[in-house]
Each structure stands twice: as structure tokens, then as C-alpha cells.
């Protein structure tokens, strides 16, 4: 058997994750928007089940997301997590934070360069002004905000109170309606917040970044360029990365993984020296499963916008790294069955490195929080993915059938990410992986993401991307 | 028993995809009038 090629590693300087709690935007999620139009009586039921910021902060999966609780510790916490809140929980985490709605409105108004957002001045001064840094937001009296709303602007609420209005960017362009632009601007500001927070945490100047890759899911552009993109550069600007340009990587939920592979490739090739991979939150996915949560009398758990930022540069000794030569994609010919995905994204790339499935200490897969998905009948997604990997290990004779549960327990974890598409798709574990590698709790972790290309109705294919994360050698 | 029946096949991204279900059902003699794969997360 040929010797595996020399390892190619690119350093991971750090990662930051943020959850922006926006209960009053849940109504603008794609599913609630449609259902509330059809059944207006649902609106009050939804409102009654919205969480406040303290409850969202003390929700155990969110504490895992921002790094205050490990995924392993989540196993031992009592359920339902939405009732058994974490006492003394803080919104600042080891590698992330939670942002409340008042601060979000402030960020939104400040980041608006086209006079789309008008905030009600009295409310803003009382609640959001303390968060305003930089450009002054556009403010007006309640009468002005109300008039904008009556003319067709999207109303922004704080509980029952009208506190702002979001205007369309064009009278006739379906790509520049107020709801589309709210999605896009929300993605921009949440991504920029994560990037700025990561730069602060690493004590890096924004000028040190020379390229930003955004894998946010929004289709930014006008009617002639729907999805034209480069939200990355807008995020770079918002975060003060004056020396950076950027571009977007779109691949449904697999976008972040492709983003990391592209960023690592830019560094390995010498094109760039310090690259940020970022993503903002998906407003369209707010309240996606709200109907089942309403039916069961649960809180509306999909009330947060997820975002993250990762910074990559040349590997340093003993640093957690992306193993670039492990990067694997799901080829057209591979087929979309779970087994074919696992073969393409786990077995084959590991074999290339001379490794078996059992040589991986931790797998990061689709880490959707089961407390969100199980009530709607969507199942425990991470567990399904782990069982597929375990079954493949059985088929290859690496474990016995009765060891499948041990495989899942030892190399997997509970899901803890909100159903924000690209955010749960493996990348959400990177912060904990860096900790576990630095503490020598694991030798490596294989990140596997999937992308549901068929949703765009251009192909029946699925997609996926994977890579190994490990420490560079001493 | 199944031969000639019409069927709608709805697959799932993390489970069995629609085209796979359709192929199995067609092999069993059913007529697949619609198949789709959806992602529920």
C-alpha cells in the first residue's frame, strides 16, 4: 500500500458564534408568514409562546452553542431543556454570545446605507441608543413610522409596540422588497457582529484580514441579478476590514464547509494570508416548525438568527488545523443515499489518509437540536447521521453490529444548533473541537455537511463536503 | 397486489431520497406519478 501523501494543514486561529434573539421577527419567517396569512388566529397563539431573552439565554443548547457547556455535558442535563433552564446562564460564552432584539435593531439601523430602516425615536433613545456605535440611524416620530407602515413598509415590533419600519428598496422589483431586504440586512449585520467579535477575541486588527468569504444563504441582488451576491464584501466593510475584498460561496447548508476549504486553499496557495469565513443568520427559517411547537404548547424555539466567523491563516506548531488534503466533495456520480454520502464524505477521504472510520475521535454532522425537530416529525437528525456512519463501519468490519450504539455515543454528540440551515451543518462544532484538540481530549474530528440541492429544483442531487480537523505536528 | 398501482413517493434528505424510493417501487410494478426529495430541517 502506498504511503499517504504529506499532510497539508492550514491553521484555525479561532471561531466565534452568535445567536441573535429576535422573537418579534419570527412572524416574518417564511413558514409563519404564510401560515399566519392563511390562519390569522394562529398569530396570538404564536405570540403567547415566544420566549424572552433570559429564557433564550438560559436554554441549554444555546449555552452549548456559545461554548459555556460542552456537547458531552448536554447529555447529562435534564429534559425538556426549554423547561429546565440553566441557572445563572450568561449571554457571553467562551467563544460566542447571545444578542438581544434591541441591540439587533440598533445594529440593523446603523448598518443600513440606503435609508431603508426608520426607527421610532422615543423607543430608540430609551432602548437601543446605548448600542448605537458609528453611523447615526434614521429616526422619526411615531407618526412618521406609522405612515411608512401604512404605505407598505414592513413594521418592526417590540412586543406589541410599533418601533420601526423597513421600506422596500424599489417600488416594483421583487428582489428588493422590504421582506427580502430585511433578510439580507439581518444576515449582513449578524455576520459582521460575529466577525467583529472574533477579531476582538483574537486581538486582531480588522485591517489584518485580506479576504472574507460569506456562506450566508440569502440571495442578495436586484431583479437582473437575483442572488448576485458578494454579501462578503458588505460584511467586510461593516466589520472594518478595510484591506479585504471578498466573495460568496453558496452551496445550501454545505456552504460553510466549502467556504473553509476555499479559504484554506487561498492560504495554502499563497494568494491570501488571513481569511475570514463568515455567515449571517437565516431570517426565512425563523419559526419553521412553529406549528408543531404551538400544538404541543412548547415555546417557539426557532427564535434566533445564528451566525459565525472563523479566521484561517498559515499553520503554526501545535495549532488546530484544517487538514486540507482530507477535503472531500460528493461527486455527481455518487448517488444520494445516506450510505453513498457516508462513503464519499467519510470512508474515502479517510482511506486516502490511511485511516479507518474508527480512527476518527469525533464526527461533526448535521447537528440540529432534536428538541426542535422531533416534535414536528422530522426526527433526531444527528442520530440518523451517526447511525449511518456506524452502519458503514459495521459493513466494513471495523466494528460489530452490537457496537453501533457505542460508536454513536463515543464519536457523536447530541444536536444543539437551531435549525438555521448552514449553521447546524457541522461547522457549529468547530469551537468545541478547537477546545478538545487544545486540551488533548481528542486527536481529530471529521466535519461532514450536506446540501439539499434539490430544493432549488435544478437537480435531484444532494451534495456534501467534509474535512478533518487536527493539530499540526510539533 | 401492488402491480399497476399509482404511487406518490416523498423522500427525505437524511433518510431515503425520492428517486431511490421511486426506483424500488417501479421495480415492484408500481407507477410512480410523482416523486420528490425534501429537506425537513
Q: What is the DSSP string of A177-243?
A: -HHHHHHHHHHHHHHHHHHHHHHHHTT--GGG--EEEE------S-TTSTT---HHHHHHHHTT-TT
Q: Which domains occur in chain A, in start order?
A: 10-314 (3.40.47.10), 320-471 (3.40.47)
Q: What does the alpha-carbon distance between residue A14 and residue A202 come to, in Å, rounded to a whole number?
A: 7
SS3 A359: helix
Check B14 against A373: CB less than 8 A apart.
no
Interstrand relation of A463-471 and A444-451 (parallel, antiparallel or unpaired):
antiparallel
Residues from chain A that touch B10, judged by Cβ atoms under 8 A, are: none
Phi, psi (rounded to 5 degrees) for A344: -70, -35
Check A450 against B40: CB less than 8 A apart.
no
Q: Tens of pLDDT along A306-339?
A: 999 999 999 999 999 999 999 999 999 998 888 9
Each of the 474 residues of chain A gets a pLDDT tens digit; together they read: 556 578 999 999 999 999 999 999 999 999 999 999 999 999 999 999 999 999 999 999 999 999 999 999 999 999 999 999 999 999 999 999 999 999 999 999 999 999 999 999 999 999 988 886 778 899 999 999 999 999 999 999 999 999 999 999 999 999 999 999 999 999 999 999 999 999 999 999 999 999 999 999 999 999 999 999 999 999 999 999 999 999 999 999 999 999 999 999 999 999 999 999 999 999 999 999 999 999 999 999 999 999 999 999 999 999 999 999 999 999 999 988 889 999 999 999 999 999 999 999 999 999 999 999 999 988 999 999 999 999 999 999 999 999 999 999 999 999 999 999 999 999 999 999 999 999 999 999 999 999 999 999 999 889 999 999 999 987
Measured CA to CA in angstroms, residue A402 lies from A132, A338, A365, A396, A406 at distances of: 57, 20, 22, 14, 8
Nearest to B37 among A381, A385, A460 (CB): A460
Check A450 against B13: CB less than 8 A apart.
yes
Check A337 against B20: CB less than 8 A apart.
yes
| Residue A276: closest CA among A338, A395, A336, A192 | A192
Residues from chain A that touch B39, judged by Cβ atoms under 8 A, are: 452, 454-455
Buried b (16+ CB within 10 A) or exposed e, A221-248: beeeeeeebbbbbbbbbbbbbeebebeb
Smallest CA–CA distance, residue B9 to chain A, in Å, is: 14
Q: Tens of pLDDT along A55-81?
A: 999 999 999 999 999 999 999 999 999
Nearest to B13 among A377, A424, A452 (CB): A452
ipTM: 0.78
Check B19 against A381: CB less than 8 A apart.
no
Residues from chain B that touch A338, judged by Cβ atoms under 8 A, are: 14-16
Residues from chain B that touch A455, judged by Cβ atoms under 8 A, are: 38-39
Q: Are A156 and A128 in contact (CB under 8 A)?
A: no
Peptide bond into A86 cis (omega under 30): no
Matching residue, cell 442572488? A227
Smallest CA–CA distance, residue B31 to chain A, in Å, is: 19
Check B41 against A337: CB less than 8 A apart.
no
Smallest CA–CA distance, residue A425 to chain B, in Å, is: 10
Q: What does the alpha-carbon distance between residue A234 and residue A236 come to, in Å, rounded to a whole number?
A: 5
Residues from chain B that touch A376, judged by Cβ atoms under 8 A, are: 40
Matching residue, cell 453513498? A340
Contacts of residue A349, Cβ cutoff 8 Å, sequence gap at least 6: A326, A327, A328, A466, A467, A468
Check B14 against A385: CB less than 8 A apart.
yes
Nearest chain A alpha carbon to B21: A337
Check A336 against B17: CB less than 8 A apart.
yes
CB pairs under 8 A between A and B: 47
Smallest CA–CA distance, residue A325 to chain B, in Å, is: 26
Question: Residue A321 carries which DSSP code?
Answer: E
| Residue A451: closest CA among A426, A418, A469, A428 | A426
Amino acid at each position: 500500500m502506498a504511503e499517504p501523501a504529506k499532510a497539508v494543514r492550514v491553521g484555525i486561529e479561532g471561531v466565534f458564534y452568535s445567536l441573535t434573539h429576535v422573537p418579534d421577527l419570527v412572524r416574518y419567517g417564511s413558514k409563519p408568514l404564510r401560515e399566519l396569512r392563511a390562519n390569522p388566529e394562529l398569530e396570538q397563539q404564536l405570540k403567547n409562546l415566544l420566549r424572552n431573552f433570559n429564557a433564550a439565554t438560559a436554554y441549554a443548547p444555546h449555552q452549548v452553542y456559545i461554548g459555556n457547556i460542552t456537547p458531552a455535558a448536554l447529555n447529562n442535563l435534564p429534559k425538556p431543556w426549554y423547561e429546565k433552564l440553566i441557572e445563572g446562564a450568561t449571554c457571553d460564552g467562551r467563544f460566542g454570545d447571545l444578542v438581544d432584539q434591541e441591540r439587533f435593531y440598533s445594529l440593523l439601523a446603523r448598518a443600513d446605507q440606503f435609508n431603508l430602516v426608520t426607527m421610532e425615536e422615543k423607543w430608540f433613545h430609551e432602548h437601543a441608543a446605548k448600542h448605537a456605535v458609528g453611523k447615526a440611524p434614521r429616526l422619526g416620530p411615531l407618526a412618521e413610522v406609522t405612515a411608512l407602515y401604512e404605505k407598505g413598509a414592513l413594521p418592526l415590533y417590540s412586543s406589541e409596540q410599533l418601533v420601526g419600519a423597513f421600506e422596500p428598496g424599489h417600488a416594483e422589483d421583487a428582489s428588493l422588497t422590504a421582506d427580502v431586504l430585511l433578510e439580507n440586512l439581518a444576515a449582513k449585520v449578524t455576520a459582521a457582529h460575529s466577525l467583529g467579535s472574533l477579531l476582538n477575541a483574537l486581538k486582531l486588527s480588522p485591517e489584518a484580514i485580506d479576504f472574507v468569504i460569506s456562506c450566508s444563504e440569502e440571495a442578495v441582488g436586484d431583479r437582473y441579478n437575483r442572488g448576485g451576491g458578494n454579501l462578503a464584501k458588505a460584511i467586510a466593510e461593516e466589520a472594518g476590514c478595510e484591506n479585504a475584498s471578498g466573495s460568496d460561496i453558496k452551496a445550501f447548508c454545505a456552504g460553510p464547509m466549502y467556504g473553509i476549504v476555499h479559504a484554506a486553499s487561498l492560504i495554502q496557495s499563497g494568494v491570501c494570508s488571513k481569511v475570514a469565513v463568515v455567515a449571517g443568520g437565516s431570517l426565512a427559517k425563523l419559526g419553521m416548525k412553529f406549528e408543531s411547537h404551538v400544538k404541543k404548547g412548547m415555546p417557539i424555539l426557532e427564535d434566533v438568527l445564528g451566525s459565525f466567523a472563523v479566521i484561517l491563516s498559515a499553520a503554526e506548531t501545535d495549532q488546530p488545523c484544517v487538514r486540507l488534503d482530507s477535503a472531500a466533495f460528493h461527486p455527481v456520480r455518487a448517488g444520494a443515499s445516506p450510505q453513498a454520502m457516508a462513503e464519499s464524505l467519510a470512508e474515502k477521504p479517510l482511506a486516502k489518509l490511511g485511516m479507518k472510520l474508527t480512527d476518527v475521535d469525533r464526527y461533526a454532522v448535521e447537528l440540529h437540536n432534536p428538541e426542535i425537530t422531533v416534535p414536528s416529525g422530522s426526527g433526531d437528525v444527528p442520530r440518523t447521521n451517526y447511525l449511518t456512519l456506524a452502519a458503514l463501519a459495521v459493513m466494513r468490519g471495523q466494528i460489530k453490529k452490537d457496537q453501533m450504539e457505542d460508536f454513536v455515543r463515543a464519536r457523536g454528540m447530541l444536536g444543539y444548533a437551531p435549525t438555521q440551515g448552514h449553521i447546524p451543518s457541522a461547522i457549529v462544532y468547530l469551537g468545541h473541537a478547537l477546545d478538545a484538540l487544545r486540551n488533548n481530549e481528542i486527536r481529530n474530528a471529521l466535519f461532514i455537511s450536506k446540501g439539499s440541492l434539490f430544493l432549488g429544483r435544478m437537480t435531484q442531487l444532494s451534495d456534501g463536503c467534509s474535512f478533518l480537523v487536527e493539530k499540526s505536528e510539533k | 397486489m401492488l402491480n399497476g398501482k399509482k404511487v406518490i413517493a416523498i423522500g427525505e434528505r437524511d433518510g431515503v431520497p425520492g428517486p431511490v424510493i421511486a426506483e424500488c417501487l417501479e421495480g415492484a410494478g408500481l407507477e410512480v406519478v410523482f416523486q420528490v426529495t425534501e429537506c425537513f430541517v
